[in-house]
């Protein structure tokens, strides 16, 4: 993230990516142990990030497009797709959120779910298993 700035272009990004590949560096924001063909949440957040970039102006659109170049290279050359963290970081950046705040925002967005799991584990006196079968109602209605 610190290597990519407005003075960069697609050629520099491509060179940077190939150097990372040659050094066998792991690029954060790509790959998911469950969603092998891409995280279904990523395109949704990607679209929101693009809108945020457009709202901030041409400089942010250019930076966002450089991120899209990184994504395209990963998909084309490594067949590795972005997880939700990649467009999330791009979106935070285009919103003007400082990089040191990314992790606290991530934690804040997850803490309610973590607390719910802990409460459920205490209530049932057993650990929740990720592949547990859902036993609730098949359908529920809701108002938009």
Which residues are known to be catalytic?
32, 85
The distance of Cα 72 from the centroid of its chain, to the nearest Å, equals 15
CA dist list (Å): 88 to 39, 73, 75: 12, 18, 18
Going by C-alpha positions, the residue among 91, 89, 71 that lies closest to residue 81 is 71
User: What 3-state class would DSSP assign to 82?
Assistant: strand
């Amino acid at each position: 993230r610190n290597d990519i700035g407005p003075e960069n272009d697609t050629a520099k990004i491509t060179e940077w990516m190939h150097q990372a590949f040659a050094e066998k560096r792991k690029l954060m924001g790509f790959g998911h142990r469950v969603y092998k063909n891409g995280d279904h949440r990523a395109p949704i957040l990607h679209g929101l990030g693009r809108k945020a970039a457009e709202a901030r102006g041409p400089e942010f659109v250019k930076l966002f497009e450089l991120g899209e170049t990184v994504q395209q290279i990963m998909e084309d050359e490594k067949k590795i797709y972005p997880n939700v963290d990649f467009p999330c970081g791009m979106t935070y950046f285009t919103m003007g959120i400082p990089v040191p705040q990314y992790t606290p925002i991530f934690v804040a967005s997850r803490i309610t779910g973590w607390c719910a799991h802990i409460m459920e584990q205490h209530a049932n006196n057993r650990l929740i298993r990720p592949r547990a079968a859902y036993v609730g109602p098949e359908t529920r209605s809701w108002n938009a």
